[in-house]
Every structure is written in structure tokens, then in C-alpha cells.
Amino acid sequence: MLPSRDEEKVWNALDQFSVELPSWGFANTGTRFGKFLQPAAAATTEEKLADAGQVHGVTGCCPSVALHVLWDFPRGLADAPDVTAAAARYGVRIGAINPNVFQDQQYKHGSLGNPDPEVRKAALAHLVESAGIAAATGSRDVSLWFADGSNYPGTANLRARKHWFEEGLRELHGHLRADQRLLVEYKPFEPAFYHTDIADWGMALLLARSAGPQARVLVDTGHHYQAQNIEQIVAWLLAEGMLGGFHFNDRRYADDDLTLGSIDPYQVFRIFHEILFYEWESGKRADVAYMIDQSHNLKPKIEEMIQTAVMAQELYAKAVLVDHARLAIHQRSAELVDAEACLQGAFATDVRPLLREWRMARGWPAAPLAAFRESGYLERITTERGARAGPAASSYA
């Protein structure tokens, strides 16, 4: 039984906690080897937003949806009013806008890092339009991930590409409204296997600083080498005032895009702890966007989103329970066992009863997944969408 002070602390934290859903997580996805089709998968932006509304409706913590420009705004800026209105119909709002400068054939050798100035110009035009879409939909963050890199030594001018990225990001930054941000993501490899132009958090940090004061670093938890200490990266970015957001997922090997917390929930807890510890020490709230970026190939898509949101709430609540004042004393005195026990004790706490109480008090279902399954929504969309898609969508391929 938690002391009432801790209960109040967790409830207040849950009232402020939210995690953003990715629209692409509701559509059919796959790997380099093929797609695994689900009859209930969303095929349109409106269907994605409708599914996201179901997740928010049972969890109470997913009020926004990240969108991909080429996939969710096929007509570009012209689609912004309709997409914004659709989000409102389903009880969510538009979150981060994600440009796509990796899919078209012209980006085979890169986008902002492409040696062809015409391709760089086309990529920048798309990025600028994406910032315009963000402004038109009321979105603050433009989330940037680049596939740029090379596969073989000697085939790319590494310093020139760095310069082109600096040049392009500064130009893009100049098109932002005062309330917008650029979030610069990094990834060590894939699809480029010799060098990636933004390969780690340090490169992303330098490019964000070069871009301008409204740029920050985005950390994808899957975009790291094995055994890398992600919470240390988080702590350094917080100390530098440059942590902008996350793409949360989990991994066993590399960028597996597995369900958050499915492999290493303690890592997610440690990340949340570093953020909350920073807030306690600094006395100010970290301006960090929590976003999900997972590939739901085999699990039912809406159910996995609910599972993810609930796991995020639980791990965040556990991190809230760390006694920061006691931890700081133990750290200063180098009392290693006692300091570590502050984290281990909080992580071992079963917060699920407290979450059920919070949900009921706030008018959310006590058991989100059960409430969704009882709603009949999945059966309805499986029938409707499966019939539209044809026999191929009714089984895995």
C-alpha cells in the first residue's frame, strides 16, 4: 500500500503525462522481406485517426497523433484542413509532422546530403512545405529523420555532406513560426551501412545547434548500438537544454521497433527517471515530447497501441516514485547500494492498482484493453475494412 503522499504524486504526474501515437502504426507494415496484412488495418488517414481515437478513449493519455506527410497528406498542404477536422471528430489532435525525404527514387543517394544540388533543393522544398503543414494543423514539432548516407568507403564526401546538411537545416529553420520546433533524429546505420550522415546524438546536437534556437534532438530508443547507455545521452541532452523528444520502442538486436517495454522495461524506467530527476533538481518541467514509433507487424494494431500506452503510464508512474531527495543524499555520500535501491524499489512497486483508481476517478475505463475488446469496434472495422480490401487482407502473407 503506497503512502497517500506518493499516491497524490503519481496522480498529479499522470494528469500531465501524455504519449503521442504514430499514424503509420495503424496501417499495414512490414520488413524489407514483405508485409504482413491485417484485415482491420487502416488504409486512409481518417481511419488511422479513428483508430487513434479509440486508443485515447480507453487510456486517456494519447491525445495527439504524429502524421507522415507523404502517407497522410497526399495533396500536401491542401489536405491540412480536412485532416485537422478529421482529428477533431475522433477526439484527438495533430501531433508531430514527419517529412519523407527517403522514399522517392530521387533520394537514392541522399536528400539534404545529396551531391546533386537539384535533389537538395527538392528535399528542402518538401521540408519547408512540411513546416507549413505543421503550422496549418496546429502542430508544434517537425520531426526530421534522414536516411542519408553511403554504403561503400570513398563514395561520398563526408565533410561536404555535413556542410549541405547545415545549410539546408538553417534554411528550414528560417521558415518556422515562433512556436515551432525542429526535432533532429539520428541513427547509426540502416539503410546506409558504411556511413550515416546523422549517425549519433552528438552529430544531431551539432546540427540542431547549427540550425537555430528552435531546433532540438530527438532520441529514438531503437537507434543505438547494443548496450549503449541511452539514459546517459538523455541526461547530457537535458543538461545542454537540447532534448526535444523521443520515438519510443524496444529492441532485441538493432532497430527492431518492438513494443515499448517488451524487452527491457527497466531501460524505459531509467530514461523517465533521468527526466524526472532533472525536473526535481532544476525546478522546471522538461519540454520533452513523448512519441511512439513501432512496427506492429504481428500483434493487432490497436491492441498493441493500447498495450504500449498502458506500459508507458506504468513505467512513468514507477519513475515518479523515486525519492529524489534521498537519492541525492546517497549519491553525494557515494552510498552505492542505497542509491541503487532508490531506483530498484520504485521499479519493483506494483502501480497497477493505483492506475486503475486514477482511471476510474478521471472517467477512463479501469481496464483499457478489456474496455476496447468489449466495445465491438475491432469486429466492426475488421468486417468493413476486410471486405473493402478483399481476400488477401484476411490472412497473413
> Identity (one letter) of the amino acid at 128?
V
CA distance 68 to 73: 7
How confident is residue 389, by pLDDT bands cut at 50, 70 and 90? Answer: low
pTM of the model: 0.95
Does 388 score more than 80 pLDDT? no
Residues 164-177 pLDDT 10s:
999 999 999 999 99
Specify the pairing of strand 181-185 against strand 141-144: parallel
Helix (H) or strand (E) holding 150: strand 149-150
Return the SS3 of 265.
helix
Q: Which of 26-35, 76-85, 94-103, 276-285 has the lowest mean pLDDT?
A: 26-35
DSSP for residue 214: T
Kindly tell me if the per-residue pLDDT of 393 is higher than 70. no
What is the rounded distance in angstroms from the CA atom of residue 369 to the CA atom of residue 363? 15
**Helix crossing, 45-59 with 377-389: angle to 10°?**
170
Which amino acid, one-letter code, is at 77?
L
For the stretch 19-72, pLDDT in tens is: 999 999 999 987 778 888 999 999 999 999 999 999 999 999 999 999 999 999
Copy the grid coordinates of residue 11. Answer: 496522480
Asked if the peptide bond before residue 3 counts as cis, ω within 30 degrees of 0, the response is no
Which domains does the chain show, CATH number per domain? 17-317 (3.20.20.150)
pLDDT tens digit sequence for 295-354:
888 999 999 999 999 999 999 999 999 999 999 999 999 999 999 999 999 999 999 999
161-174 burial code (b ≥16 CB/10 A, e <16): bbebbbebbeebbe
Distance CA 75, CA 94 (A): 17
